[in-house]
């Protein structure tokens, strides 16, 4: 079956329209009051790899529902006047998520180039996450 539009095309479109934050700049954003780092990884990834202290965890599957203020699942953090910088493990899911958030109307959106892997490789702070249950 031929795909009408594959992930490479979706990523190219997203990257053409969103802001990509280089890892050195992303490290400087950590702890800034006007910025929310949004971790899109699933809970197993957090338990296995750790997390960025202070990052807001939003599993990728809930993103649209948590952003939309009309959704019964809306999260107040996304209604704040802040810059939202998304990241995943390597920067693919976060690019698509930043494009989605931007298309939905979130005004200040970006994603971290290289994701959590780049964060860790460049010495960004990481804390352990205890397994649930």
Domain at 18-121: CATH code: 3.40.250.10
pLDDT score for 118: 98
**Confidence tier at 34 by pLDDT (50, 70, 90):** very high
Residues in the chain: 133
Per-residue model confidence (pLDDT) at position 33? 97
94: closest CA among 24, 23, 5, 31? 23
Domain boundaries, the chain: 18-121
Q: Sign of torsion, CA 113 119 120 121?
A: positive
Using a 10 angstrom Cβ sphere, with 0-12 exposed, 13-18 middle and 19 or more buried, the burial of residue 74 is middle
pTM equals 0.95
């Amino acid at each position: 079956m031929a795909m009408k539009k594959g992930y490479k095309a979706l990523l190219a479109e997203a990257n053409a329209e969103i802001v990509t934050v280089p890892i050195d700049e992303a490290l400087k954003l950590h702890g800034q009051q006007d910025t929310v780092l949004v971790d899109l990884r699933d809970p197993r990834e957090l338990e296995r790899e750790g997390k960025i202290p202070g990052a807001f965890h939003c599993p990728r599957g809930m993103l649209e529902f948590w952003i939309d203020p009309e959704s019964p699942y809306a999260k107040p953090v996304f209604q704040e006047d802040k810059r939202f910088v998304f990241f995943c493990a390597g920067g693919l899911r976060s690019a698509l998520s930043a494009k989605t958030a931007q298309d939905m109307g979130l005004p200040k959106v970006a994603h971290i180039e290289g994701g959590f892997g780049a964060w860790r490789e460049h010495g960004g702070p990481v804390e352990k996450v205890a397994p649930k249950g």
